[in-house]
Amino acid sequence: MGLQAPRGTRDILPAERVYWQQLEEAARQILDRAAYREICTPIFEQTSLFERGIGEATDIVGKEMYTFQDRGDRSLTLRPEGTAGVVRAYIEHGLYSQGGVQRLWYLGPMFRYERPQSGRYRQFHQLGVEVLGSADPRADAEVIALALDILKALGLEDVTLMLNSVGDRGDRAHYRQALVDYLTPYAADLDPDSQDRLHRNPLRILDSKDPRTQAIVNEAPRLLDYLSASSQQHFEQVQSLLEELGIPYQINPTLVRGLDYYTHTAFEFQQGRLGTEGTVCGGGRYDHLVEELGGPATPAIGWAMGLERLILLMGDRPAVPSSVPHLYVVTRGSSAERQGLVLAQQLRHQGYIVEVDLSGSSFKNQLKRANRSGATHCLVIGEEEAAAQTVQVKWLASGEQEQVSQADLLSAAGRSRLFGEQ
């Protein structure tokens, strides 16, 4: 067998790329209208950024990162998620000094060494937003509302918002001890991963997918019962705002998310058709991360969407190709081929989508491809047309055609939309 893409990676071929383009365009329009600005960060960072930001006790840092030494003997890691890099850029470039709230969004590949399965890859893509500089519950409600807007714009109406509060550091410290005290007598009955997490990261046991562990967790103390008055007030305000926005939600007291930096609000949008991998968007508040990475105290909240999972769901309905040509250029003979290329480029400059047949095959075969292309018109230049500087304009649906000079065609096409929509 010849060369193949590495395990856990995949090629996105043109027919599928149409869905990606629609997703990206929908997200860009919605986020632009909410005054979010795009930020791009490197796909690799210093390893210490993720160790400090995500947490050394997490599965991501402990098991899933792609880490390597570069030629300068520096430890670098392909980014496993987007928030840490955005926060690093926020600090490094002093965005906090601009005052007010920074509303940022990003889109790009992430990398985790996980067992590949449907909708989960070792190189995957995330769309994410980060709001830095606001502790207001309205920020929580805004990012949740925007996520729902994007999902609905993609035709994904049947999603469920799962909501929880993980409190602040003090709340979690009290709860962590209560959870360990409860789980310790059941240690031998927990799945191996949960046994390992019991003293390293016990909150992660709450979202174990192991049935036996789930049955034990169902009787565990609830984090919501350990919230301080201020944490409880923040959570109630978020719920009230979601209700004002008409966004339904379900409280899930075991929802903790997989990263150590979360505080207060944690949420996921889930879609049942994806089974156990049903989370299509997840996020929460992280009020201490900027400070922990060396910046000023800055409350923040954000989310990320896994694009591969969204594409799986979007694939249930037909995509509308984004680059169907208005015109297909058919030529025969060296002079005609040169003129066809020049004419196509001039029409492209006027805003038309033009495909030139480069096969050099017979007129018959080129016209077959023109009919399959989706174009409304075909421009035919043979040796006679090339000598006379003319072109045959053919309506592909009816088969009618008309000969015009190339100059007149360009002039008329520039004055009005002769072919398709701009």
pLDDT at position 308 over 80: yes
* pLDDT tens for each residue of 326-373: 999 999 999 999 999 999 999 999 999 999 999 999 999 999 999 999
Q: How far apart are CA 34 and CA 235, in angstroms?
A: 23
| pLDDT tens sequence across 397-406 | 999 999 999 9
362 vs 331: CA distance, rounded Å: 9
**For residue 18, what pLDDT is reported?**
87
H or E element in which residue 419 lies: none
Q: How many CB atoms are located within 10 Å of the residue 382 CB?
A: 17
Looking at the DSSP bridge assignments, the partners of residue 284 are 266, 302
The least confident of 120-134, 229-243, 253-267 is: 253-267
Q: Answer whether 420's CB lies under 8 Å from 396's CB.
A: no
Instruction: Look at residue 196 in the predicted model and tell me its pLDDT.
Output: 84
Predicted confidence band at 176 (pLDDT cuts at 50, 70, 90)? confident
Judge whether residue 378 has pLDDT over 90.
Answer: yes
**142 CB contacts (<8 Å, ≥6 apart)?**
34, 131
Comparison of pLDDT for 100 and 246, the residue scoring more:
246
pTM, rounded to two decimals:
0.86
Alpha-carbon distance values, 343 to 330, 375, 400, 412 (Å)? 11, 16, 21, 13
pLDDT of 321 strictly over 90 = no
422 pLDDT higher than 50: no
C-beta separation of 267 from 273 below 8 A: no
Q: Of 86-90, 180-184, 228-232, 235-239, where does mean pLDDT reach its minimum?
A: 180-184
Rounded Cα distance between 313 and 321, Å, is 17
pLDDT at 421 over 90: no
Rounded Cα–Cα distance for residues 184 and 143 (Å): 37
For residue 24, the tally of other CB atoms under 10 A from its CB is 14
Torsion angles phi and psi, residue 310, rounded to 5: -65, -40
pLDDT, average across residues 135-141: 97
List the one residue out of 264, 261, 293, 288 whose CA is nearest residue 81: 261
At residue 320 the predicted structure's pLDDT band, cuts being 50, 70 and 90, is low
What is the structure's pLDDT at 262? 85
pLDDT above 70 coverage of the chain, percent: 95
Closest CA relative to residue 281, chosen from 137, 415, 151, 105: 151
Q: How far apart are CA 126 and CA 121, in angstroms?
A: 12
pLDDT for the residue numbered 256: 79
- pLDDT value for 275: 55
CA distance 55 to 274: 28
Q: Which of 420, 187, 107, 162 is nearest to 282 (CA)?
A: 162
Least confident of 76-90, 180-194, 228-242, 288-302: 180-194
Strands in 286-406 per DSSP E: 300-306, 327-331, 354-356, 377-381, 390-395, 401-405
**Residue 413 in contact with residue 347, Cβ under 8 Å?**
yes
**Least confident segment among 21-30, 269-278, 373-382:** 269-278
Give me the pLDDT at residue 16, please.
Answer: 87
pLDDT tens, residue by residue, 69-82: 999 999 999 999 99
Q: In the chain, what is the straight-line distance between the N-terminal and C-terminal CA atoms, in Å?
A: 46
Q: What is the DSSP letter of 117?
A: B
CA distance 291 to 134: 14
pLDDT in tens, 4-50: 999 999 999 988 888 899 999 999 999 999 999 999 999 999 999 99
Does residue 89 contact residue 105 with C-beta atoms inside 8 Å?
no
What tens digit of pLDDT does each residue of 95-132 get? 999 988 999 999 999 999 988 887 789 999 999 999 99
The residue type of 149 is: D
Q: What pLDDT does 175 receive?
A: 87
Structure tokens at 3: 């060369």
Q: Name which residue leads in pLDDT, 259 or 70.
A: 70
Q: Are the beta carbons of 343 and 391 closer than 8 angstroms?
A: yes
